[in-house]
């Protein structure tokens, strides 16, 4: 029988826990097979919820636009892997912009 994740939000591994441990978060879309690596510390900065679970994707796939097939895993990168070079997506800056709409008066 497969293991069922706990519904207790304090018993589940959080992104902040992964950031504290220096882990990589791997987000994969099983629909279009896109895989992106993030540092957990970067995701902890971007996601405002301090209790966001590490197995729940914070957003959908940028390529196919769905959240349905997204899977998140976390891992500690090996030293040999870091020496070879791993592509990691990093935040550059936050952009705030206004959204306008037309309305009848």
Residue 5's pLDDT is: 62
For 100: left if phi > 0, alpha if psi spans -120 to 50, otherwise beta; the answer is beta
With respect to residue 1, please indicate whether it lies within any of the assigned structural domains. no
The answer to whether position 6 is within a domain reads no
Residue 102 domain flag: no
For residue 73, give its domain range. Answer: 15-84
Mean pLDDT of 58-78: 90
| pLDDT of the residue at 81 | 87
Domain count of the chain? Answer: 1
Residue 97 lies in a domain: no
**Domain presence at residue 31:** yes
In a domain, 58, yes or no: yes
Residue 68 within a domain: yes
Residue 3 lies in a domain: no
- At 9-31, the pLDDT tens digits run 667 889 999 999 999 999 999 99
* pLDDT exceeds 50 at position 1: no
CA–CA distances in Å: residue 101 to residues 49, 75, 96, 104? 29, 43, 17, 10
């Amino acid at each position: 029988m497969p293991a069922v994740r706990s519904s207790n939000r304090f018993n589940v591994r959080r992104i902040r826990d992964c950031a504290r441990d220096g882990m990589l978060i791997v987000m994969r879309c099983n629909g279009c097979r896109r895989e992106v690596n993030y540092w957990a510390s970067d995701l902890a900065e971007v996601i405002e919820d301090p209790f966001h679970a590490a197995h729940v994707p914070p957003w959908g796939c940028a390529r196919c636009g769905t959240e349905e097939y997204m899977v998140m895993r976390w891992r500690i990168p090996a030293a040999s892997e870091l020496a070879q070079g791993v592509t990691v997506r990093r935040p550059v800056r936050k952009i705030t912009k206004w959204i306008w709409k037309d309305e009848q008066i």
